[in-house]
DNA sequence: TCTGGGGTCCTAGGACCC
DNA sequence: TCTGGGGTCCTAGGACCC
């Protein structure tokens, strides 16, 4: 049997842990730069708010007004002016995303699963697969060989498993404050399907199990094809055009028909799984094969210098992620693009990469390479909206093939020690406690160095005059570069934010 | 004014090896 | 008349996931 443990409305539930007054009320969490809705409470879903809605559209759509309630607890609660009369909610709470908090709380959920389950795999920030061996009476031991279990015995084991799921929900709710839904089934796809029913119907007490043929058929018939794990928008549209509306319709087709229609092993596996045949391989804790750090800018940027600073920061994060998983990369890529939504503006997009002779995870080397690539793709005259750094060709950090003709052992060890010290300082004292000089840029009165120099040049100043009139520059650190007007505090990770009890 | 940020797998085709 | 039989590696593109 397989299980999936899925946090309900994950980011919203994280926010509610420290804001229990928001239980039962509409809550949304926004993406970076307060761009789009990425999480919604059930009440927000009932208001008709769709995932991915741009925040500014939502505010127009619902007629947000600053709340008049004098007892309001935060600046991000709004009165709703335009909701349908039938909707009982008059207020909504809006949060910027706070990944420091979400990472911490979901980590606690995983820790409990680690203690309670024989084997597990963290599938995403808010989902965890759980594997049960054939012989489930021996908790904590996974046996690969098949076990012949009598029907009566199996039914007892499954009943115990259902209890296990309900208890797991209770423990996670009580110790972390996170509501989770648990699905159990003979394949991962059926477990995922079961978890939806666990969410939808309170009668399951947060844990739904598909363990008989009768339950499987009933569940498949109630399940729209487009909601099946592994069936995306494209495949769903194709299937629906062929009269396949539910998971049951799909499962009822012959396997040969699936093969002939799609010529695709992945969708065939999904078909097998819906029919109770375990076909999706168990995943293991794998190291990432590519790592990407990218951000949209709050506004648009034309000058090279601030973009270079952002790219240096993304490259730094990639290097940190590489070291955290004990790997090195042999390729660094950088992309840069304008704002695709602004059809009235000239558009530009580019991506290029650079290959290292010796794979590396050194911050300095990766930042340097990313800066070089950026210089190749940056074209003046455009208003840029987004940039990103990708590291690829990832392999273990030991052993690494050195350069036969250019190897400086002393320098190599020096860089390694420097990175280790930077990582340690930032781990103990908080990220970006220590940064590279290239991660910041000079700015005065909202103008960057390039703009300042351009103005000086336009004013006809000679170099001596320029030097004399050069403004006192202030370094602006990258951490402030993302807009998050409604971000909550970090009571679990920062002493300054710790909860006070009166 | 305003629109996120990550990942994976599979396949076909081309270049190359002996 | 008559043109083999194995492989690997890499890349681009397309689908999917959260």
Residue A460 binned pLDDT confidence (cut-offs 50, 70, 90) = confident
| CB A236 within 7 Å, strand C | yes
Domain spanning A101-274: CATH superfamily: Reverse transcriptase/Diguanylate cyclase domain (3.30.70.270)
Over the stretch A212-239, which tens digit does the pLDDT of each residue have?
999 999 999 999 999 999 999 889 999 9
Q: How many whole angstroms separate alpha carbon A225 and alpha carbon A218? A: 14
Of A7-21, A130-144, A349-363, give the range with the top mean pLDDT: A7-21
Distance A411 CA to B16 C1' (A): 37
Structural domain A291-424, CATH architecture: 2-Layer Sandwich (3.30)
Of A86-95, A416-425, A443-452, minimum mean pLDDT range: A443-452
| CB A338 within 7 Å, strand B | no
Nucleotides of C under 7 A from a protein CB: 14-18
DSSP A339-383: -TT-TTS---EEEEEEEEEEEE--HHHHHHHHHHHHHHH--TT--
CB A291 within 8 A of CB A366: no
Q: How many whole angstroms separate alpha carbon A252 and alpha carbon A245? A: 12
Residue A485 binned pLDDT confidence (cut-offs 50, 70, 90) = confident
Q: Which CATH number fits domain A10-96: 3.40.1170.60, 3.40.50.10860, 3.10.20.30, 3.40.50.720?
A: 3.40.1170.60
The answer on pLDDT for A441 being more than 80 is no
Of A99-108, A115-124, A127-136, A263-272, minimum mean pLDDT range: A127-136
Residue A140 binned pLDDT confidence (cut-offs 50, 70, 90) = very low
Instruction: Give the residue extent of every domain in chain A.
Output: 10-96, 101-274, 291-424
Average pLDDT over residues A179-186: 96
| CB A293 within 7 Å, strand B | yes
Q: How many whole angstroms separate alpha carbon A37 and alpha carbon A410? A: 50
Residue A394, CA: closest nucleotide via C1'? B7
Residue A353, CA: closest nucleotide via C1'? C11
DSSP 8-state assignment for residue A405: S
Residues 6+ apart with CB under 8 A from A402: A358, A412
Average pLDDT over residues A246-255: 95
- Output A478 or A45, whichever has higher pLDDT: A45
Residues 6+ apart with CB under 8 A from A386: A294, A295, A296, A297, A336, A337, A339
Average pLDDT of chain A to the nearest whole number: 87
Residues 6+ apart with CB under 8 A from A484: A32, A33, A34, A96, A97, A98
Alpha helices in A201-232 (DSSP H): 213-221
The answer on pLDDT for A457 being more than 50 is yes
Domains A10-96 and A101-274 alike in fold: no
Within 10 A of A439 (CB to CB), how many other CB atoms are there? Answer: 22
Q: Which residues pair with A295 in a beta bridge?
A: A387
* Residue nearest B11 (alpha carbon to C1'): A264
Over the stretch A256-291, which tens digit does the pLDDT of each residue have?
999 888 888 889 999 999 999 999 888 777 889 899
| CB A50 within 7 Å, strand B | no
Residues 6+ apart with CB under 8 A from A5: A109, A113, A127, A128, A130, A168, A172, A180, A181, A182
Q: How many whole angstroms separate alpha carbon A117 and alpha carbon A22? A: 31
Over the stretch A44-83, which tens digit does the pLDDT of each residue have?
999 999 999 999 999 998 888 877 665 555 668 888 888 7
Q: Which residues pair with A351 in a beta bridge?
A: A335
Distance A290 CA to C4 C1' (A): 39
| CB A127 within 7 Å, strand C | yes
């Amino acid at each position: 049997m397989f299980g999936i443990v899925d946090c309900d409305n994950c980011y919203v539930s994280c926010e509610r842990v420290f804001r229990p007054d928001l239980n039962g009320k509409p809550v949304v969490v926004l993406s970076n730069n307060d761009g789009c809705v990425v999480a919604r409470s059930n009440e927000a879903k009932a208001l008709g708010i769709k995932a991915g809605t741009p925040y500014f559209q939502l505010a127009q759509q619902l007629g947000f007004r600053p709340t008049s309630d004098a007892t309001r607890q935060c600046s991000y609660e709004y009165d709703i002016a335009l909701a349908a009369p039938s909707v009982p909610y008059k207020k909504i709470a809006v949060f910027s995303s706070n990944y420091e908090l979400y990472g911490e709380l979901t980590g606690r959920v995983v820790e409990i699963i680690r203690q309670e389950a024989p084997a597990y795999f963290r599938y995403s920030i808010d989902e965890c697969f759980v594997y049960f061996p054939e012989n489930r009476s021996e908790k904590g031991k996974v046996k690969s060989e098949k076990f012949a279990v009598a029907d009566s015995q199996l039914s007892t084991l499954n009943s115990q498993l259902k209890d296990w799921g309900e208890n797991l929900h209770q423990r996670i709710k009580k110790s972390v404050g996170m509501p989770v839904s648990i699905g159990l089934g003979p394949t991962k796809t059926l477990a995922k399907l079961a978890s939806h029913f666990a969410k939808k119907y309170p009668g399951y007490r947060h844990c739904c199990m598909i363990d008989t043929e009768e339950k499987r058929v009933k569940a498949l018939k109630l399940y729209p094809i487009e909601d099946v794990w592994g069936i995306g928008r494209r495949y769903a549209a194709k299937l629906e055009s062929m009269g396949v509306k539910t998971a049951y319709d799909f499962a009822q087709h012959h396997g040969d028909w699936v093969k002939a229609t799609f010529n695709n092993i992945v969708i065939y596996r999904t078909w097998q799984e819906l029919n109770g045949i375990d076909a999706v391989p168990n995943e293991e804790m794998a190291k990432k094969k590519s790592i990407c750090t990218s951000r949209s800018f709050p506004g648009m940027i034309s000058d090279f210098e601030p973009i270079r600073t952002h790219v240096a920061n993304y490259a730094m994060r990639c290097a940190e992620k590489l070291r955290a998983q004990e790997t090195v990369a042999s390729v660094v890529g950088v992309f840069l693009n304008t704002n695709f939504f602004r059809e009235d503006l000239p558009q530009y997009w580019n991506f290029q990469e650079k290959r290292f002779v010796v794979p590396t995870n050194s911050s300095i080397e990766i930042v340097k390479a990313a800066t070089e690539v950026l210089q190749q793709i940056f074209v003046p005259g455009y208003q840029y909206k987004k940039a990103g750094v990708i590291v690829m060709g990832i392999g273990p950090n030991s052993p690494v093939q050195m350069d036969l003709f250019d190897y400086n052992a002393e320098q190599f060890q020096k860089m390694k020690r420097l990175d280790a010290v930077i990582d340690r300082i930032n781990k103990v004292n908080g990220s970006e406690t220590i940064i590279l000089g290239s991660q910041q840029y000079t700015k005065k009165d909202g103008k960057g160095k390039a703009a300042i120099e351009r103005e000086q040049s336009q004013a006809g100043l000679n170099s001596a005059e320029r030097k004399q009139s050069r403004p006192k520059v202030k370094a602006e650190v990258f951490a402030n570069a993302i807009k998050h007007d409604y971000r909550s505090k970090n009571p679990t990770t920062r002493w300054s934010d710790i909860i006070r009890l009166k």
